[in-house]
Amino acid sequence: AAGVIQSPRHLIKEKRETATLKCYPIPRHDTVYWYQQGPGQDPQFLISFYEKMQSDKGSIPDRFSAQQFSDYHSELNMSSLELGDSALYFCASSLRPLGGGASNQPQHFGDGTRLSIL
Amino acid sequence: AQKVTQAQTEISVVEKEDVTLDCVYETRDTTYYLFWYKQPPSGELVFLIRRNSFDEQNEISGRYSWNFQKSTSSFNFTITASQVVDSAVYFCALSEGSNDYKLSFGAGTTVTVRA
């Protein structure tokens, strides 16, 4: 079965550079979540999209922005990168029932993008 | 405030022993979902099990089983007859409708299974 695809798998950047992470959800999934996992930490929610509209926002820095496109893929744009942005970035997708009610579907995660800031 | 608490930081067992991971959660929602995810050294997050708040039936799936008790807000997870490949970080997570169903993770428990 198709899974969540993230690219790139690894990314090395220098301070103050920009980065774009991409996420392709499982086909027919309408909701995308982004999480950041620092070294030795649990994943922290950044932002989510439902039907191409931002549905919730967590502890995402103003330097970061994201969007979901018409084909449901999502991109996380990161600017003015700092050393503290070094982390594993996960994208997850799920499908909500019609009406956007309670979802009985688990979030399926991509393999993550490991971002290293030098 | 931490919504999900995993009190055990690390657990080390010998192969074939059972491992039980504790998870306590906090929510005001009546509809919510609880999950266990596994993160092996390679880094990916692997979905293991899900339970919704209306179903306290405890089940067994292969070597995995879980004990969901709303009265104590606990969702414990057991690996029976552990194997070396079970070595990973295990995360308990909570999804609430009032929180757009995003996952709130516990701090994780590192399980090491020795041969």
- Inter-chain CB proximity A106 and B35 less than 8 Å: yes
Kindly report the nearest CA distance between residue A49 and chain B, in angstroms.
Answer: 10
Give residue-wise pLDDT tens across range A19-72. 999 999 999 888 999 999 999 999 999 999 988 999 899 989 999 999 999 999
The answer, for B68 touching chain A at a CB cutoff of 8 Å, is: no
- The 3-state secondary structure of chain A reads CCCCEEECCEEEECCCCCEEEEEECCCCCCEEEEEEECCCCCCEEEEEEECCEEEEECCCCCCEEEEECCCCCEEEEECCCCHHHCEEEEEEEECCCCCCCCCCCCCEECCCEEEEEC
pLDDT of A106 > 80? The answer is: no
- Inter-chain CB proximity A94 and B99 less than 8 Å: no
What is residue A100's predicted lDDT score, i.e. its pLDDT? Answer: 52
The answer, for B100 touching chain A at a CB cutoff of 8 Å, is: yes
Q: What letters, b where the CB count within 10 A reaches 16 and e where it falls short, cover B38-68?
A: bbeeeebbeebbbbebeeeeeeeeeebbbbb
- 19-38 in B: which are within 8 Å (CB) of A? 31, 33, 35, 37
What is residue B101's predicted lDDT score, i.e. its pLDDT? Answer: 80
The answer, for A45 touching chain B at a CB cutoff of 8 Å, is: yes
